[in-house]
Amino acid sequence: MTTATKTAPKASTLWLLSNIRKMTQNPIPIFYRNIEKYGDFFNLGMLGKTVFVLNQPAYLQHVLKKNHRNYTKTDIQTEKLAKYIGKGLLTSEGDYWLRQRRLIQPGFHRAKLAGLANIILEEINGSYAEFDAYCESGETFDICDIMMHTTFKIVARSLFGAEISEEELNRIGEVIITTQKHFVRKIRQPFITPWLHLSGQEAAITKLVNDSDDIIFNAIEKRKSIGGEHNDLLDMLLSTRYEDTGKGMTEKQLRDEILILFVAGHETTANAMSWIMYLLDQHPEINAKVLAEVNKLLEGKTELAFEDVKGLSYTKQVINEAMRLYPPAWATDRLALGDDEIGGYPIKKGDSLFLFIYGVHHHPDYWPNPEQFNPDRFAPGNLSPEQKNAYLPFGGGPRLCIGNNFALMEMQFLVAKLVKRYQFKVLPNQVIEAQPLVTLRPRYGIKVKAAFRK
Ligand code: HEM
């Protein structure tokens, strides 16, 4: 029985239709215009479809956590995406998802992360060649591009160790980028689907994915034949066993989970890193505090280690605050499986809910001076319980990002090591603007110059 008493305001369809172009370019201002007019719960749906936009922490927590059983991911996030990247943690639902989550979760526990720390540190050292070349040539470059390959390689090595060559890695990278573009195009312009089939583009994508499958299957075979302990994610995926059957995953399941970790595990981190480097440039006093923290940790040694993650506490505050301002996963959505009530508004089975994470992170009721970059908000003891609820960069509830601790450690190391070795200068006279695509990224990139730190 529902006790809902309110009626959700409905955004004007005429206004929406006249702003459809702006909406596809950047929906965030469109949401804000409606939030100002209608408040933190309104219906943005058109043509009889209900899409509630939610902009209150309690509403998001209700959907993700408190009553999560009543909500499911949409078919875009599951079947449609699974067609390309397979059925794994990110793209499955129900019993299958729960079984996979239970199986894979232990691989991301803190103790396991210790084994991955060295791989991450080595891979960051490997990225120096590219940065060093820019320091030497004085050339301008886009920090977003370099972050994208660096985080891709970090995930790849954490997954496969040495079982995959540089060339094979680049091939998988290309396949992921091309497939993602194809998928986003299909979702945004569903009417072109028949043409994609007729023109052979759909078949070309299937062939590409098959090529990357071959690489992944070969790497699995190679690892199985070598055996031994490698302390990477592939070891974890190969050794884990279902509680009920005592058996491991099939090759197909392994391939799906691997591809999903690739996809979920690099673009989000790359975008977060790009925004962090931008914010540090804009706030030299904060950059200096990060550098002081790293220098202190490195007294008497030349390399960081897993044990230093705790010591990089100010660096973590910087990362947390940057993800508040620029949450890489800026929104997510869910479908109601049954009737419910949120904040006094009735929800009907089949309604879509759009969870506006970006809006909650900038909500003035919870964040004083919300647009200000202030890492002290995240200093120990400073966050109120209400603010903790209003902070969801990794989602929440049972489907909380499985890679959250991995991502945080990776970013702490990246920020610390890059700030220690280089001085970056963001070039003036460029437009830096957030573009909310699948993830929130800088629309025109961020052009920088780098120099070795003296
Ligand atoms: C800054 C970096 C990252 C951010 C902001 C982020 C954010 C998120 C969010 C918001 C979700 C939940 C989506 C939803 O509920 O609709 C999610 C899920 C997921 N993330 Fe991350 N993520 C990051 C890094 C990573 C990394 C490094 C990995 C793996 C190595 C990873 C793997 C996953 C997986 C597998 C899921 C699906 C979990 C499930 O549904 O059980 N993520 N991530």
Mean pLDDT in consecutive groups of 10 residues from the start of the chain, 454 residues: 81 85 85 95 89 97 98 89 89 94 92 92 96 98 95 93 87 86 79 86 88 90 87 90 93 93 92 98 98 97 96 98 98 96 96 97 98 98 98 98 97 98 96 90 96 94
Residue 300 domain-assigned?
Answer: yes
Q: Give me the pLDDT at residue 338, please.
A: 97
Residue 186 domain-assigned?
Answer: no
Query: What residue's CA is closest to ligand 1, atom 2?
Result: 269
Q: Give me the pLDDT at residue 1, please.
A: 55
Output the CA–CA distances (angstroms, integers) from residue 404 to 73, 399, 409, in the order listed: 19, 11, 9
Query: What residue's CA is closest to ligand 1, atom 17?
Result: 401
Q: Give me the pLDDT at residue 22, please.
A: 83
What is the number of domains present in the chain?
Answer: 1
Q: Closest Cα partner for 64 from 440, 394, 439?
A: 394
Query: What residue's CA is closest to ligand 1, atom 18?
Result: 401
Residue 442 domain-assigned?
Answer: yes
Residue 321 domain-assigned?
Answer: yes
From the CA of 449, how far away is ligand 1's center (Å)?
Answer: 31
- Residue 330, exposed/middle/buried by CB under 10 A (0-12, 13-18, 19+)? buried
Ligand 1 proximal residues by C-beta, below 6 Å: 89-90, 101, 155, 260-261, 264-265, 268-269, 272, 328-329, 332, 393-395, 399, 401-403, 406-407
Q: From CA 299, how far away is CA 196, in angstroms rounded?
A: 58
From the CA of 268, how far away is ligand 1's center (Å)?
Answer: 8
CATH of the domain at 81: 1.10.630.10
Beta carbons within 8 Å of 380's beta carbon, 6+ residues apart = 313
Domain housing 383: 13-161+230-452
Collapsed DSSP state (helix, strand, coil) of residue 445: coil
Residue 191 domain-assigned?
Answer: no
Pocket test for ligand 1, best of 401, 405, 411 (most atoms within 8 A of CB): 401
Beta carbons within 8 Å of 281's beta carbon, 6+ residues apart = 287, 424, 425, 426, 448
- How many CB atoms are closer than 10 A to CB 407? 26
Residue 102 domain-assigned?
Answer: yes
Residue 224 domain-assigned?
Answer: no
Residue 409 domain-assigned?
Answer: yes
- Cα distance from N-terminal residue to C-terminal residue, the chain: 67
Q: From CA 258, how far away is CA 262, in angstroms rounded?
A: 6
From the CA of 101, how far away is ligand 1's center (Å)?
Answer: 12
Q: Give me the pLDDT at residue 51, please.
A: 94
Output the CA–CA distances (angstroms, integers) from residue 83 to 24, 136, 171, 212, 260, in the order listed: 24, 44, 19, 15, 12
Give the position, in ligand 1's atom list, of the atom nearest the Cα of 272: 1
In whole angstroms, what separates CA 68 from the centre of its chain? Answer: 21
